[in-house]
Chains A and B, each alone.
Chain A
Amino acid sequence: MEIVDLVPPELKNNVIVTSVDALFKWGRANSIWPLSSGLACCSIEMMCAAASRFDLARFGYEVFRSCPRQSDLLIVAGTLTWKMTPPLIRLYEEMPNPKYVIAMGNCNIGGGPFADSYSVVTGLDQIMPVDVYLPGCPPRPEALIDAMLKLKKRIQHPETAAGSEERMNMSRENLENMIRPIAPGKVE
Chain B
Amino acid sequence: MHNGILYLAGQSLKELMLPIIGSELIVNLIMTLICIGILFMLVAVSALVFTLGERKVCAWIQVRIGPNRVGPWGLLQSTADMLKLLTKEDIIPHGVDRWMWVLSPILIFIPAAMVYALYPFDDGVIFADVNIGLFLLIAISSQSVLPFLMGGYASNSKYAMLGGMRTVAQMLSYEVPMVIALMGIVMITGSLKMSAIVEAQSNIWFIFLQPIAFLIFMVTCLVESNRPPFNMVEGESEIIAGPFTEYTGMRWALFFLAEFANLLSIGILTATLFLGGWQGPDFLPGQLWFWIKAFLMVLIYQWIGWTFPRTRMDTILSFGWKVLLPLALVNLLLTGFGIYIFKWLL
- Interface pair B81/A69, CB less than 8 Å apart: no
- Interface segment out of the listed A3-11, A26-34, A119-127: A26-34
B3 within 8 A of A: no
- Interface pair B67/A58, CB less than 8 Å apart: yes
- Interface pair A28/B241, CB less than 8 Å apart: no
A158 within 8 A of B: no
- Interface pair A69/B247, CB less than 8 Å apart: yes
Measured between beta carbons, the chain A residues less than 8 angstroms from B77 are 30-31, 60
- Interface pair B87/A24, CB less than 8 Å apart: yes
In the complex, A51→B69 CA distance in Å?
17
Write out, one digit per residue, whether chain A residues 80-103 have a CB within 8 A of any chain B CB (1) or not (0). Answer: 000000000000000011100000
Measured between beta carbons, the chain B residues less than 8 angstroms from A98 are 88-89
- Interface pair B248/A30, CB less than 8 Å apart: no
- Interface pair B248/A69, CB less than 8 Å apart: yes
Write out, one digit per residue, whether chain B residues 64-81 have a CB within 8 A of any chain A CB (1) or not (0). Answer: 111111100010110111
Which residue of chain A lies nearest to B80 when distances are taken between CB atoms in the complex? A30
- Interface pair B241/A26, CB less than 8 Å apart: no
Measured between beta carbons, the chain A residues less than 8 angstroms from B88 are 72, 96-98
Measured between beta carbons, the chain A residues less than 8 angstroms from B172 are none
A142 within 8 A of B: no
- Interface pair A70/B247, CB less than 8 Å apart: yes
B330 within 8 A of A: no
CB-contacts of B243-288 with A (<8 A):
244-249, 252
CB-contacts of A10-42 with B (<8 A):
23-24, 26-28, 30-31, 36
Give the number of residues in B that approach A within 8 Å (Cβ atoms): 37
Within the complex, the shortest CB–CB distance from A150 to chain B, in Å, comes to 15
* A67-B241 in contact given A27-B83, A58-B65 (Cβ < 8 Å): yes
Within the complex, the shortest CB–CB distance from A102 to chain B, in Å, comes to 17
* A52-B91 in contact given A30-B80, A31-B81, A57-B55 (Cβ < 8 Å): no
- Interface pair B84/A27, CB less than 8 Å apart: yes
Within the complex, the shortest CB–CB distance from A63 to chain B, in Å, comes to 8
CB-contacts of B47-97 with A (<8 A):
55, 59, 62-70, 74, 76-77, 79-84, 86-91
Measured between beta carbons, the chain B residues less than 8 angstroms from A153 are none
- Interface pair A60/B64, CB less than 8 Å apart: no
- Interface pair B87/A28, CB less than 8 Å apart: yes
In the complex, A174→B119 CA distance in Å?
58
In the complex, A57→B59 CA distance in Å?
8
Within the complex, the shortest CB–CB distance from A124 to chain B, in Å, comes to 22
- Interface pair A60/B241, CB less than 8 Å apart: no
- Interface pair A70/B252, CB less than 8 Å apart: yes
Measured between beta carbons, the chain A residues less than 8 angstroms from B24 are none
A55 within 8 A of B: yes
Within the complex, the shortest CB–CB distance from A31 to chain B, in Å, comes to 4
* A96-B84 in contact given A62-B55, A67-B244, A70-B241 (Cβ < 8 Å): no
- Interface pair B68/A69, CB less than 8 Å apart: no
In the complex, A96→B247 CA distance in Å?
10
In the complex, A66→B63 CA distance in Å?
23
Measured between beta carbons, the chain B residues less than 8 angstroms from A154 are none
B15 within 8 A of A: no
Measured between beta carbons, the chain A residues less than 8 angstroms from B70 are 30, 59-60
- Interface pair B89/A96, CB less than 8 Å apart: yes
Measured between beta carbons, the chain A residues less than 8 angstroms from B62 are 51-52
Measured between beta carbons, the chain B residues less than 8 angstroms from A97 are 88-89
Within the complex, the shortest CB–CB distance from A106 to chain B, in Å, comes to 29
Write out, one digit per residue, whether chain B residues 226-253 have a CB within 8 A of any chain A CB (1) or not (0). Answer: 0000000000110011001111110010
- Interface pair B64/A67, CB less than 8 Å apart: no
- Interface pair A69/B83, CB less than 8 Å apart: no
Within the complex, the shortest CB–CB distance from A133 to chain B, in Å, comes to 24
In the complex, A62→B76 CA distance in Å?
15
Which residue of chain A lies nearest to B234 when distances are taken between CB atoms in the complex? A66
Measured between beta carbons, the chain B residues less than 8 angstroms from A59 are 67, 69-70
In the complex, A52→B240 CA distance in Å?
25
- Interface pair A60/B81, CB less than 8 Å apart: yes
| Other 15 A-B pairs with CB < 8 A, given A52-B62, A55-B64, A96-B249 | A24-B83, A30-B77, A31-B77, A31-B80, A55-B66, A57-B67, A59-B67, A59-B69, A60-B67, A69-B245, A69-B247, A69-B248, A69-B252, A70-B247, A70-B248
Interface CB pairs A-B, < 8 A, 24: A27-B79, A27-B80, A27-B86, A30-B69, A31-B77, A31-B81, A31-B83, A52-B63, A55-B64, A57-B59, A57-B64, A58-B69, A58-B74, A60-B70, A62-B55, A63-B55, A66-B241, A67-B244, A69-B247, A70-B248, A70-B252, A72-B84, A98-B88, A98-B89
